[in-house]
Amino acid sequence: MELLQNKTTDIRRKIRRRLSQEISTYLIVLGISLVFSFGHFGLPPVIYLIYLLIASGVLIGALSYKSRQLRSINLPGTLREALTYLIEKVDSTMKVYMATYMLMITGSIVILEIFVLIKHSEKTLSVALAVAGGLAGIAICYWCGKHYLERILGKHKTRLVACLNELNAL
């Protein structure tokens, strides 16, 4: 029983550490974007930069909230209840991460598509190709995002489920 509790604590710590790494990554990307945006002062770059700041802030805020939530939760009574609760929290974290990530990607692509439409509105083929490319980009980002989340958080969820199954077998 104590072994399962130690495993659960270890998994929880690894998830929090991973979320912290993800937040750091987005902060670095945001910093790089800000550095490279200097010198590009026009309406489109400014609009895109403002959107990127807002979307990144939402994503970082959501990950920070979920990380704090995992750190500060008081696990309910029995080990079985605690494992079930943690599995739900990890699943919720994955859903929130995916939703905010897709919001950021989709919004970025929509803004870029609008800029293409404004600049090349008379070129139907260019606009059609840009829209098709944007939709393909969204689909690829969704697929990649899902697999990425399964790799970084899904494995911890699987370990928690294995612990719960182990407990149920006792």
**Mean pLDDT, range 50-78, rounded to an integer:** 84
Q: How does pLDDT run across 65-112, given as a tens digit for each residue? A: 988 888 777 776 788 888 888 889 889 999 999 999 999 999 988 888
Q: How confident is the model at residue 41 (pLDDT cuts 50, 70, 90)?
A: low
Q: How does pLDDT run across 12-24, given as a tens digit for each residue? A: 788 888 888 899 8
All structural domains of the chain with their residue ranges:
2-169
pTM: 0.79
Distance CA 3, CA 163 (A): 10
> What is Dmax (Cα atoms) for the chain?
70
* DSSP single-letter state for residue 40: -
Phi and psi at 68, nearest 5°, equal -60, -40
pLDDT at residue 58 in the model? 92
Q: How far is CA 152 from CA 19, 123, 144, 162, in A?
A: 9, 42, 12, 17
Compute the 3-state secondary structure of the chain and give helix, strand, coil in percent, each to the nearest 5: 90, 0, 10
Distance CA 127, CA 141 (A): 21
Angle at 23 between CA 94 and CA 138, to 5 degrees: 55
pLDDT at residue 70 in the model? 80
Q: How far is CA 70 from CA 36, 63, 66, 75, 99, in A?
A: 35, 11, 6, 10, 19
Q: How does pLDDT run across 116-145, given as a tens digit for each residue? A: 888 777 878 878 888 899 999 999 999 999
pLDDT at residue 38 in the model? 67
Distance between alpha carbon 151 and the CA centroid of its chain, in Å? 12
3-state secondary structure of 68: helix
pLDDT at residue 4 in the model? 66
